[in-house]
């Protein structure tokens, strides 16, 4: 097992082997789930990137139209429309709400526009009020696209971080945790096999010692003139002789 990493402090026992096999099953199951999660996040990441590109293109076109509409409104009002708008507007009519979207366990922030103004009244009826209203609509559309783009980019950053973390976990399981468990299991199996071989060798030595002792005892008895190979007289045979004498 030289050159291969194993789990430190592992005692090569049957109990440890059973525990490591359970950990191996859990690690492989976790690897499969994290791999699926990574694939799902990558698919969402690619779709979100495409939506961001399209939204940026729409944002550029819409902002161009909005500023052109502002120029038309200023021309129709014979000057700046800022005093007219400030006189008409007292509170903010457009707000941003936030909610969370769950994508395979990753919380992505989503922003949405809330327009509380409705159609509203014309601003500066005598000085291009219709142009100002159209300009306002164009800028509201641009603001909606801007909020959508901000939501997409914020979610994009969160998704990118989640993908990096998930991929690190997948790589750690695939290249560190699972191989280390496999190496430790192989180490325990080799140690247990070695212990079994040692036990078998010990039993053979014990049997050899017993045979040597029996042979030595027989040699000692023979030296004393005692034949240990002769069978002992049967008690039943003696009983039969007695019965013959009696009858």
Please report the DSSP string for 1-58 in residue order.
-TTS---TT---SHHHHHHHHHHHHHHHHHHHHHHHHHHHHHHHHHHHHHHHHHHHHH
pLDDT surpasses 90 at 214: no
The pLDDT of 155-168, averaged and rounded, is 93
- What sign results for the dihedral spanned by CA atoms 57, 58, 63, 68? positive
Q: What is the mean pLDDT of the chain?
A: 81
Higher pLDDT, 117 or 159: 159
pLDDT surpasses 70 at 119: no
Whole-number pLDDT of residue 245 = 45
Whole-number pLDDT of residue 154 = 92
Cα–Cα distances in angstroms (integers) from residue 174 to residues 19, 27, 165, 211, in the given order: 19, 9, 14, 55
Going by pLDDT thresholds of 50, 70 and 90, the confidence category of residue 103 is confident
The pLDDT of 216-226, averaged and rounded, is 75
**How much is the pTM?**
0.66
pLDDT surpasses 80 at 217: no
Going by pLDDT thresholds of 50, 70 and 90, the confidence category of residue 73 is confident
Whole-number pLDDT of residue 131 = 78
- What fold does the segment set 14-186 form as a domain? Helix Hairpins (1.10.287)
């Amino acid at each position: 097992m030289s050159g291969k990493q194993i789990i430190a402090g592992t005692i090569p026992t049957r109990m440890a082997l059973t525990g490591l096999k359970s950990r191996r099953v859990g690690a492989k199951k976790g690897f499969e789930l994290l791999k699926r999660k990574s694939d799902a996040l990558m698919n969402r990441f690619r779709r979100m990137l495409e939506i961001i590109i399209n939204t940026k293109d729409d944002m550029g076109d819409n902002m161009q139209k909005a500023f052109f509409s502002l120029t038309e409104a200023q021309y129709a009002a014979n000057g700046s429309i800022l005093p007219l708008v400030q006189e008409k507007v007292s509170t903010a009519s457009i707000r941003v709400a936030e909610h969370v979207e769950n994508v395979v366990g990753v919380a992505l922030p989503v922003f949405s526009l809330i327009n509380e103004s409705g159609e509203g009244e014309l601003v500066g009826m005598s000085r291009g009020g219709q142009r100002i209203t159209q300009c306002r609509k164009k800028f509201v559309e641009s603001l909606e696209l801007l909020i959508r783009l901000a939501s997409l980019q914020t979610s994009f950053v969160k998704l990118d971080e989640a993908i990096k973390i998930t991929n690190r976990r997948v790589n750690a399981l695939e290249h560190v945790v699972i191989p280390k468990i496999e190496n430790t299991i192989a180490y325990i199996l080799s140690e247990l096999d070695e212990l079994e071989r040692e036990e078998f060798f010990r039993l053979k030595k014990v049997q050899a010692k017993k045979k040597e002792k029996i042979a030595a005892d027989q040699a000692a008895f023979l030296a004393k003139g005692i034949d240990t190979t002769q069978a002992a007289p049967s008690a039943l045979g003696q009983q039969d002789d007695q019965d013959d004498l009696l009858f």
